[in-house]
Structure 1
Amino acid sequence: MSYLNQNHTPLFTALKEYHKRQVVPFDVPGHKHGKGLKEFTDYVGSTIMELDVNSMKCLDNICNPIGVIKEAEELAAYAYGADHGFFLVNGTTSGVQAMIMSACEPGDKIILPRNAHKSAIAGLILSGAIPIYIQPEVDDMLGIAMGVSLESVEKTIGRHPDAKCIFLINPTYYGATSNIKDIVKVAHRNAMAVLVDEAHGAHMGFHEEFPASGMELGADMSAVSLHKTGGSLTQSSLLLLREGIIDPFTVKKNLNLMQTTSGSYLLMASLDVARKQLATEGQPMLDRVLKLSRDARDRINKIDGLYAFGKELIGNPGVFNFDESKLGVHVRRLGLTGFEVYDLLRDEYDIQVELADYYNILAIISLGDTEEAINRLVEALADIASKHRRAGELRVINNILKNPDIIISPRDAYYSNKRVIKLEEAEGEISGESIMAYPPGIPVVSPGERITKDMIEHIKMLKEEETLVQGTEDPYVNYVRVLGLGNKR
């Protein structure tokens, strides 16, 4: 594949050629180049609507690409050092699910960290795989989960040598990475595939000062959110495969089970252009990201009561390397929760950060950021530290839940009969649904797990902080669904 020219954008070019021809549409979508949705078209612009088209010969088809989509996917695979690439228009969620379904059959064991995204839990339900959780390392001062250690992976493999694969996160939401290269070696020695959730690492293979990507480190598959840190449109992602353990036809078959047959050409074309940009301009653009993020850290760390953590964490448990584009700020010494600072930034300063937890906020610094934007963030944080701080620090609480007791598989729990009870009465029951704050979308409890007092208290804390809690039938999470009578021990 060395002949592939990363300056080419086969899909985007074909879409522009189609647009030039001013084809009269008698196919779907029904807005017919925007004419049938005038109010929306007038606001977003006619070109966008004219490019929102359906599959056709000249534009290929996402379900069985043989033309320009195939060429664009090959370019993406080559850029990331993979053998195969698959465009995703259902987000990285569909890629994570396809990875697990391609590596596991019903009843197979999969080793994964408990701080995996909810899409991994959905992958367990869809595949019927049995989770074997590894407890991620925890930074007690920051109150956040980091990566998994090589030692914990080796011990888990020793206890479960029949596991089919290992699922890793590269990087975590807050930027920590595990020693994936050595974990891959251990896994492959034990005939296990390595799957990598790279939702927040789309940029990492294009600059030597960032952690290495899953494909560079020998992983068998990775799901990459180009829309998060690579510049493409929201919901557009990429699934990468290294030939060997997992068959590419199996991957394609599983993707076609879940992904739409009407792939958005706006999303796919943005993937094509974002890949080109990273492959041809990634180094200077990511130089700028590093400069902005380092400058922000230096300035924030001069504000009394704030700590913007970074590469100094490398070497701590669960931090093999660190992605500096993740600007995590520890706010506990202000006497404020991360949730409160998150709300203040949005409501009083018109600044939207990625997420908050009890002690921290997280801002993502990426290709589109500017010095002006960084200045606004730093000045707003300084103003909050001056005007809103409370006397004393927040007390340290155990904010990270330990690995749960898995009573039945997520798939069996998902399909079991359930009843509804009050959240406060759920201790000891087996959960019939996932409950999580979103973002980050990491379940506090998943289907098939025993609900503990700590889980209930954690969920109540999230509600008190007015965090967006999802996954439950009851949108207010006053009630939860648990498995039928007789589950309580």
Structure 2
Amino acid sequence: MDINTQKKAPLYEALQKFRKQRVVPFDVPGHKRGRGNHELVELLGEKCVGLDVNSMKPLDNLCHPVSVILEAEQLAADAFGAGHAFFMVGGTTSAVQSMIWSVCKAGDKIILPRNVHKSVINALVLCGAVPAYVNPDVDKKIGIALGMELSQVENAIKENPDAVAILVNNPTYYGIASDLKAIVKLAHAHGMKVLADEAHGTHFYFGEDLPVSAMAAGADIAAVSMHKSGGSLTQSSLLLTNKNVRWEYVAQIINLTQTTSASYLLMSSLDISRRNLALRGKESFGKVMKMAEYARNEINEIGGYYAYGRELNNGSSVFDYDVTKLSVYTRDIGLAGIEVYDLLRDEYDIQIEFGDIGNILAYISIGDRIQDIERLVGALADIKRLYSKDNAKMLSMEYIPPIVSATPRDAFYADKEMLPIEQTAGRICSEFVMCYPPGIPILSPGEMITDEIIEYINYAKAKGCSMQGTEDPYIEKLNVLK
């Protein structure tokens, strides 16, 4: 990475130059720099609305970049150690799906862990690829799915030698990383591509003493959520391809679904954030790691909570741990993670990333301050003192291995009927059921519904998890195959 070159932000600079020209707009968007929508200007500010412009020659076009967007993408590729980088304005969902569609066609097999984001399964529904799941081990104490062990991947390859790719979470939502380098070596030896979902791994490219990044590990394609730990605007992401990948074909796949009216607010935020990370990322993420470690120690001092970290490392299912993640097990104080989540927001004006049945995740990033950490720690101590209760009747499980009976695509489009959830045990689900966040399906199309899953869904609803994915907005009925 050339630091001097990384000081440039070509797309942002082109926007600034354009703004000074005072061009008369007879193109879209129709608000015409905000003149047609004064409430929008009041909400977002004149400068922001004035930069909400359309593609034009001086500002390039995301669907076929040839000037400032192309240069900005090349700088991103250099900063991330990639062969090519694509600006994505449909969130990391669009990056994940384009990544899968670039290597998978209808009927192709892809090896992947079951604890993937819903965007992965959605991609399989749309393209018709067939999942070969690696069911990860589960930490019996905290109930979460761990990473993919190399032996599990080896078995999956033996059972599915015709698979075209392996997808790896790098890391999981909770911060757990698999042995990505070894998985890449194994996959490539069998002629398979490696895809990395790095929605929560942007900082791996710039921080020190963190799990290995996908590009450094030799993975073929990676979807990177710049708007999470990278500091860009929500919905802006990157898709990275390594030097051995034909990026021109990937560009065609992206353009099958990507908007032709890409937001310059999102794209310029990617350009500015890339520059910020390239110039200051090492220092910034060093501070994030220190804040997270401080918070972990302070929370564990409270007692009752368990803020976990690198002590989980076992060299296999937890090959490494992302210490910037502040994941906290709450069940020992008699509260589900979602209950702590609600209390923090409703009683203490603290918004964390998510709460599930047994854990919470507080996302710590380059924008946090130590006083915010102290306020969170104080609130958790308060919650334990005021709201803790007996945990004897609490559900302990978090991840339930699925029984796969049909492909996601076949099940999603099959003839179906809607039944009350209590009557669905033993039937094949034809839709998704998930808590969001984190957006990891409890049920995916093609999986058998069991009494254990029904109990889990009802428990999560009762505790206040935000459920989605079903046609029935109240999650009282499920679509099942006839």
Aligned partners of 1:414 and 1:432 also within 8 Å: yes
Q: Which residue of 2 aligns with 1:440?
A: 438
Q: Which residue of 2 aligns with 1:409?
A: 407
Q: Which residue of 1 aligns with 2:53?
A: 53
Superposed displacement of residue 304, structure 1: 1.9
CA distance, structure 1, for counterparts of residue 2 and residue 287 of structure 2: 28
Aligned partners of 2:179 and 2:316 also within 8 Å: no
CA distance, structure 2, for counterparts of residue 130 and residue 4 of structure 1: 45
Deviation track 1:11-65 (CA, whole Å, cap 9, x = no partner) reads 0110111111121111111111111121121122110000101100011111111
1:80-479 superposed matches below 5 A: 80-244=80-244, 246-315=245-314, 317-391=316-390, 395=394, 397-405=396-404, 407-479=405-477
- Counterpart amino acid of residue 425 in structure 1: Q
Deviation track 1:197-225 (CA, whole Å, cap 9, x = no partner) reads 00000111101211111001000000000
- Counterpart amino acid of residue 472 in structure 1: T
Question: Could you say what secondary structure the match of 1:123 adopts?
Answer: helix
Question: Could you say what secondary structure the match of 1:481 adopts?
Answer: strand
CA distance, structure 1, for counterparts of residue 189 and residue 4 of structure 2: 33
CA distance, structure 2, for counterparts of residue 260 and residue 362 of structure 1: 32
CA distance, structure 2, for counterparts of residue 288 and residue 378 of structure 1: 18
What do you get for the CA RMSD once the two structures are aligned?
1.4
Deviation track 1:265-303 (CA, whole Å, cap 9, x = no partner) reads 000000001111111100111111011111111111110
CA distance, structure 1, for counterparts of residue 182 and residue 437 of structure 2: 30
CA distance, structure 2, for counterparts of residue 457 and residue 206 of structure 1: 42
Segment of structure 1 superposing worse, 387-396 or 375-384: 387-396
Superposed displacement of residue 414, structure 1: 2.2
- Counterpart amino acid of residue 442 in structure 2: V
Question: Could you say what secondary structure the match of 1:329 adopts?
Answer: strand
Q: Say yes or no: does 1:482 pair with 2:480.
A: yes
Deviation track 1:371-405 (CA, whole Å, cap 9, x = no partner) reads 11111101101111111111456656333201322
Q: Say yes or no: does 1:69 pair with 2:65.
A: no
Question: Could you say what secondary structure the match of 1:287 adopts?
Answer: helix
Note closer, same or farther for the CA distance 1:377–1:124 as it changes in structure 2 (3 Å cut): same
Superposed displacement of residue 435, structure 1: 0.9
Aligned partners of 1:137 and 1:317 also within 8 Å: no
Segment of structure 1 superposing worse, 455-464 or 73-82: 455-464
CA distance, structure 2, for counterparts of residue 395 and residue 454 of structure 1: 14
Question: Could you say what secondary structure the match of 1:215 adopts?
Answer: helix
Q: Which residue of 2 aligns with 1:36?
A: 36
CA distance, structure 1, for counterparts of residue 420 and residue 45 of structure 2: 48
Unaligned runs of 5+ in 1: none
Aligned partners of 2:180 and 2:212 also within 8 Å: no
Question: Could you say what secondary structure the match of 1:226 adopts?
Answer: coil
Aligned partners of 1:421 and 1:481 also within 8 Å: yes
Aligned partners of 1:334 and 1:393 also within 8 Å: no
CA distance, structure 1, for counterparts of residue 190 and residue 315 of structure 2: 27
- Counterpart amino acid of residue 278 in structure 2: A
Superposed displacement of residue 340, structure 1: 0.9
Q: Which residue of 2 aligns with 1:27?
A: 27
Note closer, same or farther for the CA distance 1:136–1:218 as it changes in structure 2 (3 Å cut): same
Superposed displacement of residue 316, structure 1: 6.3
CA distance, structure 2, for counterparts of residue 396 and residue 121 of structure 1: 26
Aligned partners of 1:429 and 1:451 also within 8 Å: yes
- Counterpart amino acid of residue 290 in structure 1: M
- Counterpart amino acid of residue 76 in structure 1: A
Aligned partners of 2:143 and 2:398 also within 8 Å: yes
Aligned partners of 1:133 and 1:403 also within 8 Å: no
Aligned partners of 1:333 and 1:394 also within 8 Å: no
Superposed displacement of residue 2, structure 1: 5.9
TM-score by length of 2: 0.97
Segment of structure 1 superposing worse, 281-290 or 424-433: 424-433
Q: How many residues align?
A: 482
CA distance, structure 2, for counterparts of residue 317 and residue 422 of structure 1: 41
Question: Could you say what secondary structure the match of 1:35 adopts?
Answer: coil
Question: Could you say what secondary structure the match of 1:195 adopts?
Answer: strand
CA distance, structure 2, for counterparts of residue 310 and residue 36 of structure 1: 52
Deviation track 1:139-178 (CA, whole Å, cap 9, x = no partner) reads 1101111111011001111111110000000010110100
TM-score by length of 1: 0.96
CA distance, structure 1, for counterparts of residue 386 and residue 413 of structure 2: 51
- Counterpart amino acid of residue 258 in structure 2: Q
CA distance, structure 2, for counterparts of residue 375 and residue 397 of structure 1: 29
